[in-house]
Amino acid sequence: MKQLSNFVQIWPPLVATAIALGSWEFLLWITQPDGFVLPPPTEIAAAVGENFATITTATRVTGFIIVTGLVAGVLLGITAALLVTTFRTANETITPLAVAINAIPIVALAPIFNFWFGLLSPRSNQAVVVALVFFPIVINTARGLTEVEPSQIELMESYGVRKWRIIREVRIPNAMPFFFTALKLATSLAVIAAIVAEYFGGRQDALGNIITSSAGLTRYADAWAAVLAGSLLGIVLYGVAVLAERVTMPWYFLARRS
Amino acid sequence: MTSQNVPAVEIRGVSKVFNPGGSNEVLALEDINLEIAAGDFVTLIGPSGCGKSTLLRLVAALVGSSSGEVLVNGKSADQARLDRDYSMVFQKAGLFDWRNVARNIELPLELMGWRKSARHRRSTEMLELVQLQDFARHFPQQLSGGMAQRVAIARAMSFNPALLLMDEPFGALDEMTREHMQNEVLRIWSETNTTVIFVTHSISEAVFLSTKVVVMSPRPGRIAAVLENHLESRDDTARDSPEFFANVSEVRKLLRAGEN
Ligand SMILES: Nc1ncnc2c1ncn2[C@@H]1O[C@H](COP(=O)(O)OP(=O)(O)OP(=O)(O)O)[C@@H](O)[C@H]1O
Ligand SMILES: [Mg+2]
């Protein structure tokens, strides 16, 4: 329980958020800017209230795309990292491929994916998420699998064990902190990827579509309500990743000696 | 298991060339001959790069020799590795951060398929041997350097290997801890009847610990001399005895001679 104590320290950010929202509301109230480019928090809250059903549906639709894309990208990334670090030929084929994929501005591919998967299919959005999540997972996990203290590998060899046993006992646990660093990064990437991909196509009742259509109709409070839902998704996913990290590697968070 | 007549280690005419034929070819060891009897405590000493670690790795079959023969308990070094006749300790303790102390010690036993209850009994015994009974559930990050190295020794001794190979195990420790660890290792050695090959840079450490000091010289790595090292006792009084000082200066002389 003691290890969770830092995690439970949520009061400071809550207070900071309240102060930020308060000053935002107050500043707009005293300056009274033209138009509705930046609506005050109360108006956004009202928009959420009015369109509650639409926003929750959209959050569910986009959340599904994010989570499935994230899971698929992470699984693909882990598999690729294991292949790359275990077999030399895999390293020579997959690594350049991963680098090449990373060099493509994936989000720019969204309209092309729409053409492949159908304009209204969520598949194209998922594909964008998978492609964006894949690279950081492969690179970090592969680093964790290879950056092992050489004497630890020699020790295992001196016990006369096979390669797969070394992978299981040493390389995989060694890669865990690297993997979780990438996973936390991947959660925010996945949210961005899904919403931007939805600007170009996919289901019409998703967050990205609500943002573009509301903004087009100058209903900015509605657009902001959808943005808010997107950031909530990001925060929840990040929190889940942090929690998973704590639960799977309690040893990593022990107070370090000296 | 091991008959008293078979030497623990026999090294016959062994040479080791790294990257043979390449532009970075290194003759690390040349014509090494050494016989180590069961129960001996042998230290390898010599300047950096003279091939001490390489010699240890040859005995461990972690590298192969370019010529000559290495026998451990009368078997090929590789067979001895597969039979788990020896165990290694490195300068870095090399504990696994994700295993607590007890489970680090039990690692080799797990790999050998010991049952959980037997493993647990063994790690408890080993923790007593290195006097860390109260730290079974601690994690490596929570240990000092000396404690971590004691856990590494307990791990190495957990399956009763006939031969213990130690590569500068106390190189990273401060002088006080180091002397304490030397006493520990001598105690464990005398209690368990293990044969030890111990690499060190410290002349006093070599003379205090070993029954035999192997002095090596560099470029190419060779054995310059072997000194039989008999001390009356091996406790703290031995560190101040005249024979200790005599042997220290003898080893120093041999090292100097090897350098020229
Ligand atoms: N894997 C390797 N590949 C190429 N050369 C090597 C390799 N391992 C050792 N050498 C070379 O062999 C020689 C002996 O190295 P070794 O590590 O055995 O020396 P050492 O006596 O243990 O030195 P130190 O006291 O610094 O640990 C050195 O010249 C080193 O560069
Ligand atoms: Mg060395």
Domains and CATH numbers, chain B: 1-85+165-172+194-260 (3.40.50.300)
Q: Does residue A16 lie in a domain region?
A: no
Domain count of the fold of chain A:
1
Q: Which of A206-220, B37-51, B104-118, B124-138 has the weakest average pLDDT?
A: A206-220
Query: How high is the pLDDT of residue A99?
Result: 80
Q: Does the CA dihedral A28-A29-A33-A36 come out positive or negative?
A: positive
Asked if the bond preceding B220 is cis, omega within 30° of 0, the reply is yes
- CA distances, A74 to each of A35, A83, A242 (Å): 43, 14, 15
Query: How high is the pLDDT of residue A237?
Result: 94
Asked if the model's pLDDT at residue B124 lies above 70, the reply is: yes
Q: Tell me, what CATH number does A229's domain have?
A: 1.10.3720.10
Q: Does residue A218 lie in a domain region?
A: yes
Strand partners, B75: B72
Query: How high is the pLDDT of residue A258?
Result: 45
Per the structure, the complete domain to which residue A220 belongs is given by 46-257
Chain B residues within 8 Å of chain A (Cβ atoms):
57, 60, 62, 81-82, 84, 86-88, 90-92, 94, 96-98, 100, 107-108, 111-112, 139, 141-144
Interface residue of B53, B54, B98 to substitute, partner A, most A CBs within 10 Å: B98
Mean residue pLDDT of chain B comes to 89
Q: Mean pLDDT over residues B218-227, rounded?
A: 89
Q: Does residue A41 lie in a domain region?
A: no
Q: Does residue A6 lie in a domain region?
A: no
- CA distances, A45 to each of A42, A52, A222 (Å): 5, 10, 9
Query: How high is the pLDDT of residue B175?
Result: 85
Query: How high is the pLDDT of residue A192?
Result: 92
Query: How high is the pLDDT of residue B260?
Result: 65
pLDDT in tens, chain A (258 residues): 445 555 556 777 788 888 888 888 888 888 777 656 678 888 888 888 888 888 899 999 999 999 999 999 999 999 999 998 888 777 777 778 878 877 888 777 888 888 888 777 888 899 999 999 999 999 999 999 999 999 999 999 999 888 899 999 999 999 999 999 999 999 999 999 999 999 888 888 888 888 988 888 878 888 888 898 999 999 999 999 999 999 999 989 886 654
Residue pair A91/A84 in contact by the 8 Å Cβ criterion? yes
Of B81, B98, B143, which is closest to A160 when you measure between CB atoms?
Answer: B81
DSSP helix/strand/coil, A95: helix
Q: Does residue A146 lie in a domain region?
A: yes
Of B88, B96, B141, which is closest to A158 when you measure between CB atoms?
Answer: B88
Residue A13 makes CB contacts below 8 A (sequence gap 6+) with none
Q: Is B44 in the pocket of ligand 1 (CB under 6 A)?
A: no
Single out the residue of B255, B256, B242 nearest to residue B214, CA to CA: B255
Q: Mean pLDDT over residues B11-15, rounded?
A: 91
Q: Does residue A33 lie in a domain region?
A: no
Single out the residue of A249, A205, A215, A212 nearest to residue A55, CA to CA: A205
A2 touches chain B (CB under 8 A): no
What is the pTM assigned to this prediction? 0.84
Give the number of the atom of ligand 1 that is nearest the alpha carbon of residue B199. 22
- Kindly state the percentage of chain B with pLDDT values over 90: 50
- Going by alpha carbons, the residue nearest to atom 27 of ligand 1 is B48
Q: Is B108 in the pocket of ligand 1 (CB under 6 A)?
A: no
Contact (CB<8Å) A158/B60:
yes
Q: Does residue A15 lie in a domain region?
A: no
Query: How high is the pLDDT of residue B191?
Result: 85
Q: What is the ipTM of this complex?
A: 0.85
Q: Does residue A27 lie in a domain region?
A: no
- Going by alpha carbons, the residue nearest to atom 1 of ligand 1 is B18
Q: Mean pLDDT over residues B230-256, rounded?
A: 86
Distance B35 CA to ligand 1 centre (A): 22
pLDDT tens across B172-207, in order?
A: 888 888 888 888 889 888 888 899 999 999 999 999
Query: How high is the pLDDT of residue A13?
Result: 75
Task: Return the H-helix or E-strand segment holding A67.
Answer: helix A52-86
Query: A217 or B52: which carries more pLDDT confidence?
Result: B52
Query: How high is the pLDDT of residue A1?
Result: 45
